């Protein structure tokens, strides 16, 4: 297995209705690549060379959803504070709320869905995201 330092860093937003005690979570359904189509994920993407992770996340959410956000706290994972997704990728995740715009699917997604608390696991998340959703839900 590759060490965390050899994985590509990706960032994602757990877009919620409010940062304190959220009751809704935004899920994004993949349209491509075909191997991931129909599965749900947190919106986000790769951190570019020289880019700060939080800057990358704001850029990705602007590109993927067409919104400006306020970032809350990072939801640290069990893998040195991050979430190992695969041998190739490690993810950092922040809570975020929408400040400007209404989320609309662009680029890799074909549908967005606000999931009410208690139903956050009601869609088929990407396998690597399931444990993150469970952690956010408190389980």
Per-residue pLDDT reduced to its tens digit, 24-63: 999 999 998 889 899 999 999 999 999 999 999 999 999 9
- For the record, the structure tokens of 96 come out as 């975020």
Mean pLDDT within 7-15: 97
Task: Residue 118: give the domain boundaries.
Answer: 4-136
Structural domain total, the chain: 1
β-strand partners of 114: 26
**CA-wise closest residue to 137 among 57, 32, 43, 21:** 21
Is 2's pLDDT higher than 80?
no
pLDDT of residue 79: 93
- For the record, the structure tokens of 113 come out as 């869905």
**CA-wise closest residue to 67 among 91, 37, 93, 102:** 102
Task: Specify the CATH number for the domain of residue 82.
Answer: 3.90.79.10
């Amino acid at each position: 297995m590759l060490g965390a330092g050899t994985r590509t860093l990706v960032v994602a937003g757990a877009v919620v209705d409010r940062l304190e005690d959220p009751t809704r979570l935004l899920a994004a359904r993949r349209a491509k690549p075909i191997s991931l189509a129909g599965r749900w994920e947190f919106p986000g993407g790769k951190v570019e060379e020289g880019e700060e992770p939080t800057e990358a996340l704001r850029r990705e959410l602007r590109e993927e959803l067409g919104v400006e956000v306020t970032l809350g706290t990072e939801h640290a994972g069990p893998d040195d504070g991050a979430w190992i997704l695969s041998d190739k990728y490690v993810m950092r995740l922040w809570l975020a709320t929408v400040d400007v715009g209404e989320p609309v699917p662009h680029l890799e997604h074909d549908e967005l869905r606000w999931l009410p608390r208690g139903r956050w696991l009601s869609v088929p998340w990407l396998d690597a995201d399931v444990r993150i959703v469970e952690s956010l839900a408190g389980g």
